[in-house]
Structures are given as structure tokens and as C-alpha cells.
Structure 1
Amino acid sequence: MVAFHASALDGVARNPALPTPLLLRLLAADGDGYRPPRDAVQRAGLPEPAVVAILTHPDPGVRIDFAMSARARPAQRARLADDPSPKVRTALAYGPEVYGARTRVAPLPDAVCVRLLDDPVPAVRTALLESPHVAPSFVAWMAAHHSAAARREAVRAWETLPPGERSALLADPDPQVRRAAALWQCRRDARLTAELLRDPDSAAAAARRGLLARADAERCVAARTHLAALAENPSLPAGLVERLAVDPDEAVRLAVSLRPELDDTRRTAIHSTVEGAAGSVGVRWVRDGLADPEVLRRAATSAHPLLRRAAALSPHLPPDLLRLLARAEDPQVDESLAVFHPDTPEEVLMRVHARLGRTFSAWMAETHPRFPREGLAARYADHPDGNFRRLAVRDPAATPALIERLSHDPVAGTRQAAAGDPRLPLHRLREALHVPELASSAGANPALPEPDMAAVLDRAGVPA
């Protein structure tokens, strides 16, 4: 018989039914250059013996894989804080690479972050400061740190810092720290805003968010400096708002049309084009209020498509606004609801699935709690589009005969979904282990018997 395809080992490594003895065999060190599959290192719910095997593995690449595992508990990853390899500590400091808006990574304990922030290797310190997984409590703690880079990052916690620490950051000996602090404080300080407007490195941000004296705002308009940013400023005097509403620059008019104080009548009277501008124009007052019911209601019920799109990013939409946005017939709204909202209606999920297909749809179908399951086999098993035939595998009522038929589907994604389904007849499951594009899915199938898993390890040369 043809040997198992090499990718069968990757499947077995992530198989949820993998017995602990075989998992420990996968993770064992070997002097001949064998390296455990990443899927084994980054499995969820690793038993303590497996964690110890990883932490003590002589290959730093294995420990790096664990340091960047989104499935490992923070306390487990934290045990790498004193690893002898700077590359391992750097990976730990930054943390997992996360894909998907619904994936959250719990931060490392603050005490571990303190140690990493004082690591003798600069790359470790930089990785921690750039990490998206640091706890807010630690960000605030850095305000009094001896490192200027750490104090500059601490400014992100400005609203929670006590007055004394804010004052210290505003008078910090490092100019970049002072500038970062001033850009937060200028929201309530017109004098500070005026100073920042004279600094080329901070002028645009100050124009967007600072408290403006009328004379400073007039000068910016007259000089036509940072007008699109200025048009977003909440403190821009009403007369200047009206002047910028008819500015010859399309981006400026569009920014004015998104101001929070305008009603829909005024918004629609401003001539602007929204298509293609969603990525370049921020609706900050909506993004900052994604948990605020009043902000969400004003944005979701607006006639302005960019406001509706901004509201669709919120996982906190009440049911009536969710239903309203689901009827917007805007592909960008649909996609945001599908990604961010756990209660997105089935018809929206299916619209996104039909339009996007392939990788995004597969991820959504597998992870969204509201994506349908029942009835999919009857609806889609014979659909002309393989992306829809794949959905039939999700149906609890799909028969083993149907699953086997779909494992021979012309479309690889459909075949792979069927190969990973535990209802696949055992003879076809064993057969799939030898098929290159199916071996990984078959190896991950929880119905694969333990002797077959062991045979995959044997054929792959995994040390006994």
C-alpha cells in the first residue's frame, strides 16, 4: 500500500482525540533533528506533562511555537520568561499572531511583563511594547518606568492615569513622551493645541483632536493645512464647519459630512462620494462609542453609509439596530456584522458566504455561533457550487453515505471537509490518509482509531 502522505502527521497533531501517550511521543526530543509539528505544540488544553516536554525541549523553535500559541494559558506561556534563548523571550513578549476579530488572547501576568520590560535584550523589550495583548493595568503602570519608550506607550492609558502621572508625562525629559502626552491633553487645552499645531510632527493629530481656539482654526483654514483632519475636530467653530462643507477638496467635504452634530438632512446636503473612502476616512466618534447605545443608534439609523458601516463594527448592537443594519443591503455592513456580531441573522451570514466564498466563508461557517447547521444537507448537497456543497457536511442529519460521496467531490475544499467528518466510513477515512490533499483532514478526524494514529507516527519517522 502507498505510504501515508506526510501531511497526515499534521492532521494527527491537531486531532482532538489524540491520546496523551501519542501526544507525548510527538513532543519528545530527538537527537536526529526531528521537530514536533506546530499543531501539536499549539493544541488547546495541553496536559502538564506535555507542557513540561515543550518547555524543556532543546529546540528553541519548539519553545517559540509555544510562546506564540493563542491556545496556551498565559500562566503556561509565562514559564518561558527566563528562557535562555532571546528569540523565545521575544516571541513570548509579543505573543500570539491572532487572525479573526472574535479571537481574544488573555494577557501575560503583569509581573511577567515587568520582567520582560527590563530584559537585557532590546528586541524583547521592543516586542513587549508592540504587543497587542498587554493588559491595560500594565500599560498604565509603565507611566513611571525608567524607559522613555515604555512611558510613551503608557500614554495610551491617559484617561485612567492619575493627575500627577499625567503632569509628569507632560513634563517628561524625553520630547517624544511629552508630545505623545500633549496630544492627549490637548483635547481639553487650547494653548497646548496651539503649540502642537506649530510642530510638523504633531500638527495633523492636533488639528483632528485638539481643543481649538478660533484664531488657530481660522489660520489653519486660511493656510489650507490639514483640512481633512480639521474637519473632524469636535471643537471646530460652526462657521468654519459650513465653510469646509463646500470646500473644493472631496476628502474635506466627506469628513464634514461625518461630524456627530449634523442631522441627516444636513449630511445629505453636503456633496461627497463615499465609495472607496471607507478605508481612508475615520468615523472616530462612532469607533470610540461602539459600546454606547446612544452613539450606536445615531450611527445605525443614519442615511450616511459610512456611519452605518462604522456602527456595524460593534458587537453591542441591540436587536432592533442589528435587524435594521441587516436590511441595509450594503456588502461592507454585512461583512462587519458577520465578523463582529455574535447574533448576526442567518440571511446575512448566507449572503456573505455566497459573495465571498472560499477561505473567509469557511472560517465564518466554522466559527460563527449563528451560522446554520440543520437542513443544509437537503439544501446544498447537490448545489452546483462546491463552496455550498461543503456546507452539507455541517448538517447533523447528513448520512455517512453522503459524507463519503462528498469526500469524492470535484472541489478540494468540499472533499477536505468530508474527510475530517467523523461520520466518514472507516474504509474511506483510511483511504484518505494516502491522498495528498485529504491526508491532513483525515489525520485530524476524531474517528480515526488510535492504532491508525500510531501508524501515521511510525510511517512519519516519529521516534517511539
Structure 2
Amino acid sequence: MAHSGDQTAQVAFGVLEATDVARADAVRLLGADSSLHAQWIMGLAMNSAAPEEVLCRVFTVDPLPEFRYWLPYCPLSPAAAAAAVAHPDPRVRAVLAENPHLPPAARAVLAEDPDPKVRRVAVMMACEYEVELPAELTVRLATGPEPRLRYWATGLIGLPERTRLALAEDPDPRVRSAALDSWSWPRLRPEVRDAAEADPDSWVRAAVRRATHVHPPLPTTVGGFLAETDERRRRDAASTARVEEALAVLLVAHDDPSLRRAAALNPHVPTVLALGMAADPEPSVRLAVSLRPDVTEAQRAAIDYTVPPGRLPVPSWVEERFGDPDAVREIAASSHVVLRRGVTGAPALPADVIERLAADDDYYVRLMLCENDHAPHELLVETFADWDGLSWGRLARHRNFARPGLARFADSPNYRLRYAALFDPEAGPDLVERLSRDAMDMVRHRAAADPRLPLPRLVELLGGEETSQRAVGNPALPAQLMHHLLDVAGVKR
């Protein structure tokens, strides 16, 4: 697939000289092992600045290198996706259809792919990712000859109502069952409903039962509760139903601690009865009492509760008050760490509340605040530097993370802070080049993809085993050089 040595040298020297790259760098690039050609191809496929002509060449490569490991996940530009959907290997197109970042126009093309597996994956993923396809395409899929496509078409956004209702009369029972739900059932003609209820297929009859099922109200009296045999409904009643006082008395003294805990969470259980469980022998019951909205701060502090490790659900009453600045301030000042953690998710935190939570003594309050769009820059950097959670790298993508001044960390002993230095919008080419030689892989890789990296160093990294893919994905790579890398790799123009 490669050129001869003389041809390769002639091509590469020409483009490198045209881009003012030193001759020594050209020699290093030409000496790159042919095993790097696959890295170049993958990097170009993901290069956001690659011209359409380059991408069209990349996606003619067959076999496409290691496509199963990067194609389902990497964001593709519209031009890249348009080139990819024309790849000759249907396995590549099927894997491409799994990509959640695929532009809708490209997914629409795959939904009518010549290969049946590609079509199925594309339509199934359109349902999974809630991608809206053109209405005329959804009709073609819903009325076409393939039962599997008609089955998945029942869940497509944008499918016209008339077409969706017609699928309840489809010849295939799986399609009929998928078309029957609580939305379609009352809209179907009476004769269609009659036929569905008498359908010989068990899937269809099960769908009818689900579509017509009406949940009876939860029990609110002692008699109704004792007569209820479904344990899930008993717990739901204990935790959410507007229970009568007699039933509340029964629940707070029940032998089953899960029912006492449910009662402690139920806002309809009178406060005085709930506080009677403040000394309950079961820790989860005491914690539930401490999280009630009708308990004062003094009463909370008097309860011997323990907060278990891990993330706990945010109490619903806390979420209901996210839009009330005064209520948010009150919750943020609570002595209860679970409430303070919960309020960090409010979408519009006042500035003084952000300041208070960012200085909270509890590490997880500060950590959870970092998930908020308004988390302060200093807290994000501090957490980025020392948090050991699996998703710590996501903090660098937070809108408040990048700030002028991060370059001061370029010589930090903490490799994460050296990595953070590359997010400084005012960092210069010299700093980026220096960090491209860092001892840590992730720092070097980030620098290799940085468009501020000087071109001679960028070309040098194209020949490195561990940096070649990142370097060729650098948006500052000249288009002429992209083409010549493909020439060196033997990809036809």
C-alpha cells in the first residue's frame, strides 16, 4: 500500500518544504514505520478541520483500520459523516450507525442502506437516540417490506399519526404489538381494537393489556392497606399516598423497617408522628426523618442520623424549590450535608450560594457543585487536580474551566495541572511545544492535538508511535500535508 522510498521522499519533501518545515523533520517523518499509516488514517478521520476531499479519501480505505474501536464513539463532522456512509464495507457502515454523534442526514442515508443489517442498526439507533428523521423517510420505513424496520418505525420521532395507527393492523404480530400503547389505543377504530383483543398472538394480547391497564389508586386507609397484596404498592402507599391518620399511626409503628422508612419520607404523615421515629433503631429510618421538609434545623440536629457513603437521591422537596432563591439559600445553609449536596443541582444558583457551597466543609458538596454549569473556575481546577473519580477528566470540558492564567501550572509537579495549563487561551506556542515533551502521556497527547503547536514539532510527532494519531488530528495540520500523508500511506487520490 506504500510508495517506494524514492517516491515517498520526493512527495514528502515537496510538501514539507512548501510548509517551511525543516529538512530534518522531513527525514524523521519519512522514517516513520508503515505501521503508523493506520494511525494517520484514524487521526484524519477525526480531524475537525480536514477538508471534504481528505475525508473522502480516508473513507475509501478498505479495510478501515480498527474502525470498531473508534468509529462508534468519535464525533464526526457532517462532511466526514457524509464520506463515511459511502464506505464500501457494510460492517463499517453498521458500526457507524451506532455512533450517537452521527448527524441526522447521515443516519437517514444509512436507514436506506443497501445492506439490511445496516438499515436495521440505523433505524434502531434512531429510536434509541431519539433522532428525528425526515417524515417521508419514516413513512417509507413504516410501510416497507421489512417487518423489523416496520417494528422499529413505530418508535420513530416524526412518524405521522395516520401511519403509526395503521401499523396496529400490520400483517406481522410483532409490529402490531409495538403499535399498541396507551396513546394509540383510544385513537384506533373500534373494529381494530376488537381485532386486537381477539388476536391469536400472545404478544399482541399482552400489548392490549398494557395499553388498557388502569392503575387503581393507592390505599389510604388501614383496611385498604391490609387488603393490598402487592408489596410494591404497599411501599408506594406508605411513602407517597395521602394516608389517613390511622394508617399513618400503623405505618410509623410497623414491624417492617422499610415501611417505617417509607412513612418517614411521606410528607402526608403528620410531623409529630414522623418525629416519633427520630430515635428509631433502624439508621435508614432516622436518616429519612432528618430529611423531611417539615423538620426544623434544631430538630434535624437532634437526630442521630448517619449519612452512608455514596451518592443519595436528592429529596423531591429540595428539587421543587430550585426556582426559589430564598429557599435555595436556606437549604444551602442547612446543617444537613445531604440537603446541601442536593441543592448544588439547582440550575440557577445565586452568586452568594455558589460562594458558600464552593467553600463547604464537605468534599462531596464541592464535588457535586462542579457538575453545575455555574461552578466557579477555582473550584473546578482544585477538584480537577485531586479528585480520583473515574470521570475527573470531564471537569476540563466545563465551560468555566478554561481561563487565562492556567499556564502558570506548566511546571507543576501535579501532571493534571500541567495538563490544565494547555487550556489557557493565552498560552503560547513555546509552552505547548514544551509540554509536548512532558513525561506524562496525557499531557503530551493533549499538546500534540493543540493547534498552537509549532508545525516543525507537529510534523515530528507524526512519526511518533504514541503521538501520531493525536498529531494528525491536530486542526492546524495543513491540508496539503494531510493529502501527502495519505499519499505516503498509499491511499489513492
Short-chain TM bin: 0.7 to 0.9
1:182 match: secondary structure: coil
Alignment match, 1:157: none
Per mean C-alpha deviation after superposition, the further-off stretch among 229-238 and 211-220 is: 211-220
Write out per-residue CA displacement over residues 74-116 of structure 1, whole angstroms, 9 at most, x where no aligned residue.
4553554555332332222212xxxxxxxxxx75369688998
Alpha-carbon distance, 1:291 to partner:
4.4
Alignment match, 1:252: 285
Q: 1:121 aligns with which of 137, 140, 148?
A: 148
Q: 1:198 aligns with which of 229, 239, 243?
A: 229
Alpha-carbon distance, 1:173 to partner:
8.6
TM-score of the two chains, using structure 1 as the length reference: 0.75
Per mean C-alpha deviation after superposition, the further-off stretch among 409-418 and 118-127 is: 118-127
Alignment match, 2:297: 264
Alpha-carbon distance change, 124 to 424 in structure 1, aligned in 2, over 3 angstroms: farther
Q: 1:393 aligns with which of 416, 422, 426?
A: 422
Q: 2:122 aligns with which of 88, 98, 108?
A: 88
2:347 match: secondary structure: coil
Distance 1:373 1:43 in 2: 25
Verify: 1:348 aligned to 2:375, yes or no.
no
Verify: 1:3 aligned to 2:36, yes or no.
no
Write out per-residue CA displacement over residues 53-80 of structure 1, whole angstroms, 9 at most, x where no aligned residue.
4445454444444444443444553554
Alignment match, 1:228: 261
Write out per-residue CA displacement over residues 430-464 of structure 1, whole angstroms, 9 at most, x where no aligned residue.
11112222122211111212233224434555454
Alignment match, 1:452: 481
Alpha-carbon distance, 1:305 to partner:
0.6
2:281 match: secondary structure: coil
Q: Where does 1:260-339 land on structure 2 (aligned, <5 Å)?
A: 260-276=293-309, 278-279=311-312, 282-291=314-323, 293=325, 296-339=328-371
Alpha-carbon distance change, 300 to 444 in structure 1, aligned in 2, over 3 angstroms: same
1:347 match: secondary structure: helix
Alpha-carbon distance change, 361 to 223 in structure 1, aligned in 2, over 3 angstroms: closer
Alignment match, 1:373: 403
Alignment match, 1:162: none
**CA contact 1:74–1:108 (8 Å) conserved in 2:** yes
Give the letter aligned to residue 471 of structure 2: A
Per mean C-alpha deviation after superposition, the further-off stretch among 50-59 and 203-212 is: 50-59
1:307 match: secondary structure: helix
Alpha-carbon distance change, 276 to 40 in structure 1, aligned in 2, over 3 angstroms: closer
Per mean C-alpha deviation after superposition, the further-off stretch among 71-80 and 445-454 is: 71-80
Alignment match, 2:7: none
Alpha-carbon distance, 1:45 to partner:
4.0
Q: 2:465 aligns with which of 433, 436, 441?
A: 436
Q: 2:244 aligns with which of 181, 197, 213?
A: 213
**CA contact 1:41–1:54 (8 Å) conserved in 2:** no
**CA contact 1:420–1:445 (8 Å) conserved in 2:** yes
Distance 1:252 1:122 in 2: 50
Alpha-carbon distance, 1:199 to partner:
0.8
Q: 2:107 aligns with which of 77, 91, 102?
A: 77
Give the letter aligned to residue 245 of structure 1: A
Distance 1:304 1:41 in 2: 40
Give the letter aligned to residue 266 of structure 1: Q
1:350 match: secondary structure: helix
Write out per-residue CA displacement over residues 344-398 of structure 1, whole angstroms, 9 at most, x where no aligned residue.
1122112211222697443322x21111431222x21111112111222222333
Write out per-residue CA displacement over residues 410-444 of structure 1, whole angstroms, 9 at most, x where no aligned residue.
11111111111122222221111122221222111
Distance 1:52 1:246 in 2: 65
Alpha-carbon distance, 1:309 to partner:
0.6
Give the letter aligned to residue 123 of structure 2: R
Alignment match, 1:26: 58
Per mean C-alpha deviation after superposition, the further-off stretch among 202-211 and 189-198 is: 189-198
1:437 match: secondary structure: coil
Give the letter aligned to residue 236 of structure 1: V
**CA contact 2:278–2:286 (8 Å) conserved in 1:** yes
Distance 2:342 2:54 in 1: 48
Write out per-residue CA displacement over residues 209-258 of structure 1, whole angstroms, 9 at most, x where no aligned residue.
22223333334342425322232111123343122222110011101111
**Aligned-residue RMSD, C-alpha:** 4.1
Distance 2:179 2:72 in 1: 36
Distance 1:196 1:108 in 2: 47
Q: 1:108 aligns with which of 132, 136, 143?
A: 132
Distance 1:437 1:193 in 2: 68
1:222 match: secondary structure: coil
1:309 match: secondary structure: helix
Alpha-carbon distance, 1:204 to partner:
2.5
Larger radius of gyration: 2
Structure 2, unpaired ranges of 5+: 1-30, 169-175, 185-205
Give the letter aligned to residue 265 of structure 2: E
Per mean C-alpha deviation after superposition, the further-off stretch among 83-92 and 401-410 is: 83-92
Q: 1:425 aligns with which of 435, 442, 454?
A: 454
Alpha-carbon distance change, 277 to 443 in structure 1, aligned in 2, over 3 angstroms: closer
Alpha-carbon distance, 1:275 to partner:
4.1
1:21 match: secondary structure: helix
Write out per-residue CA displacement over residues 274-320 of structure 1, whole angstroms, 9 at most, x where no aligned residue.
141643x5523224554454653443232211011111122222222
Alignment match, 1:363: 394
Distance 1:177 1:195 in 2: 28
Give the letter aligned to residue 285 of structure 2: V
TM-score of the two chains, using structure 2 as the length reference: 0.71
Give the letter aligned to residue 108 of structure 1: E
Alpha-carbon distance change, 237 to 330 in structure 1, aligned in 2, over 3 angstroms: same
Alpha-carbon distance change, 306 to 114 in structure 1, aligned in 2, over 3 angstroms: farther
Distance 1:242 1:434 in 2: 70
